[in-house]
Amino acid sequence: MGLQCGIVGLPNVGKSTLFNCLSNAKAQAANFPFCTIEPNVGVITVPDERLNKLAELVNPQKIVPNTIEIVDIAGLVKGASKGEGLGNQFLGNIRATNAIIHVLRCFDDGNVIHVDGSVDPIRDKEIIDTELQLKDLDTVDKRIQKVEKMAKTGGDKNAKKTYDILSAVKQHLESGKSVRTAPISKEDFEFIEDLSLLTSKPVLYVCNVDEASVNTGNQYVEKVKEAVKDENAEVLIISAKIESEIAELESYDERQMFLGDMGLDESGVNKLIRAAYKLLDLYTYFTAGVQEVRAWTITKGFTAPQAAGVIHTDFEKGFIRAEVIKYDDFVKYGSENACKDAGKLSVEGKTYVVEDGDVMHFRFNV
């Protein structure tokens, strides 16, 4: 689906280290490829044990996992909204993404100099928030100037509605808050969706901690959790140092042993990839046959014809019905035929809303 998460953060917070670790995620999830589209864009496999389990049962010729794109966005400095440093490039790169992974430094280390001289994740967060908010404010002001005359003459109802929404967003931004927390309905937000406001994007906060804090967190992490409690955002604890050590190990077994020694059940990179997938409001459904077991990415709420269209547009145009087996039933009974015999295969029509983990087969006619 070509969806992207952008990794942002101040210089020296561990942002690029995490991105580099993601490039080695293939050995932690199985032999699936990572590839670089540009120097700072990677296509990352989404780890999903359900795919592996289905493959064990079906024994296909090929296994195809879900992927998302992760973009390592150049470090931001104060004044980026006015073009300082790589400001315009940085903000343009964020605008092109669907969600933001915001890396915050939550560890003390005298050997790693902080760009502002001390460790303070809340200050760091506010620096980036402020720059994004200022850029959004500029974007909103320009649109207000465009629609204000039409709104005030009263001849265009949509212009009046848009003007009122923009005015509410402007007030929210001027109070130092991001658009994602503005009291605006989803329907109203559609009036200004084309602006691609930077602070309207969903965000995941990644607290980069030292090795001792990876299981329990620390005082910095607690401050971050308190600061973002009203943002409806997930906070993930990761040690970029541990992840870089894992990335240097050559085999899957070595990595698993290392994780066990650290008291971790899985790598932080895997958790990050899955959290990014969730952040984009995505679901997975599966197709399972002897030629291929494959995971397909859909947006939460997709109907069966929309899900079929992800495979090919003809599947959606000529949709007749979907044959659906719940993942747990497929695993319990072991095969499609066994599920049929047990009455666990349902035939669904155009209004069926696909659930995460559905195993599906489509009937269509073009």
Alpha helices (H) along the chain = 15-22, 26-29, 49-58, 87-95, 121-153, 157-174, 186-189, 219-227, 240-248, 252-261, 268-279, 304-311, 313-317, 327-333, 336-341
* DSSP reduced 3-state for 243: helix
13 is in an annotated binding site: yes
For residue 5, what is the DSSP state?
Answer: E
16 carries a ligand binding annotation: yes
Contact call for residues 182 and 169 (beta carbons, < 8 A): yes
181 is in an annotated binding site: no
- Annotated binding-site residue? 229: no
Geometric angle at alpha carbon 211, from 208 and 216, rounded to 5°: 80
Place of tokens 């561990």: 14
Best CA proximity match to 102, nearest among 241, 7, 179:
7
What is the spatial order of strands in the sheet that 99-105 belongs to? 35-38, 41-45, 67-72, 4-8, 99-105, 203-208, 234-238
- Determine the Cα–Cα distance for residues 166 and 146; give it in Å rounded to an integer: 11
Which 8-state DSSP code applies to residue 102?
E
Cα torsion angle, 254, 36, 100, 118, sign:
positive
Q: Classify the C-alpha dihedral 85-86-91-94 as positive or negative.
A: negative
Note the helical H segments in 37-183. 49-58, 87-95, 121-153, 157-174
Here the tokens at position 87 are 């400001």
17 marked as binding residue? yes
Dist. CA 183–CA 211, nearest whole Å:
39
The alpha carbon torsion through 229, 235, 193, 142 (nearest 10 deg) reads 70
Which residues are documented as binding site for ATP? 12-17
Which residues are documented as binding site? 12-17
